[in-house]
Structure 1
Amino acid sequence: MERQFWIDSWDEGGSKTSFHLPEVHPHARYLVDGGLLDGARVLVPLCGKSLDMPAFARRAREVVGVELVESAVAQFLADNAIDPVRTEPGVFRAGNLTVLVRDFFDLTAADLGSVDVVYDRACLVAFPEPMRERYAAHLTGLLPAGARYFLNTLEYAPVMDTPPFSVGPDAVRGYFGDAFDIEHVFDDDRPDHRMVAKFGLESLREHGFLLHRR
């Protein structure tokens, strides 16, 4: 997806940003309740206005969100009554929460600093091939050995040619198996998922993977 696609999606809102959830995702609660974020520096790529970030900030040492569209960041700050310090253009800080208005593909390891945990919901599945391969390679290059990467994906039929794209366990192993040990922690049949009725899907499974960078 091109940059303008996401800018237009956030400007239009409604069904264009239906990937945004009005509550903390259960997989995010798994990370919080399981203590996986305690004392960690957490990266949330393509963060939008995710409510998972404030939940993470209550347990993590620091949370860094990255979002291309500044209007999405403005909505996040307003919705959560956050009055940030703007230390430089495109950088918003409030306590242990930082949001960068940047193209994720432009970020380097030096830009981000140390990262202990990555939380990916609606990121990998937002990209078609070959952008998905590019995203996987770029993210892998940002993470040091020992970092953990939690990945949420959707796998559904019939597949669509618009995001969120269908990504199952075999594809995840193909993208990340060379650099990560992969634990498949969630594999849930979701006939109640909003996408099933919206797109007339025959089936949908929601996956959660915990990857460990070698």
Structure 2
Amino acid sequence: MSSSLVWEIVGKQSCFIYKKKGVVFNAEPNNLANLNKPHFSQFAQESSVNIIPKKTGGYQLIISKEELATYRFPKNSFETFDITEDFKNNVTKIQEIMNKKKFNKKLTNYILAKLYRLNQVEKRTNYLKKKQEKEEKEQTIEEQIEDEVTSVPFTPKTKSKETVEEPKETVEEPKETVEEPKETVEEPKETVEEPKETVEEPKETVEEPKETVEDMKVEDNN
């Protein structure tokens, strides 16, 4: 049966078709771009190809076999190739496989574009994962510090510091101390005060006779 006839039957009536924001998608198991187009459809093409990420790391290239014997065993109808995470080294490997299987060059370009996109997404997820782990470690350290600070009792500082000391039981041996009597002889202090001789000189006051006018007159009369 030709691929064009199969597409006419499956293209509009497949159970894998769904719409999202006006775009028609197809969730077939081996659809490269998950788009409802004939060159991506597994049923419309004789051989299909897809690349998916592995859980253990790296990628896996899946190619459907064209042998009729595999139709009875769908599990064995696919051939897988393991691909590492290094994008540059995998380009030549994918091109060799696609040329050997005689796929169209457009499909090889789609495979490489999807591999590049998956690689970028994986780098982003690893970066966010490491960042989240670092933040969680810092948060746990801060919580431990807060717990240690809160566990220490708070003692407010006051001006008068009251210190309660437990009584210490100390047994002291009696000390015999013999003090010799101290003889203190005080010598008498002789204080001789010399008499202070104060000689006051007599004040000679000579009053001169005052001649009045009357006396002068009496003398003249005499």
TM-score (norm 2): 0.25
Structure whose alpha-carbon radius of gyration is higher: 2
Of Structure 1 and Structure 2, the greater helix share is in 2
TM-score (norm 1): 0.26
Kindly indicate whether structure 1 or structure 2 has the higher relative contact order, using CA contacts under 8 Å at least 6 residues apart: 1
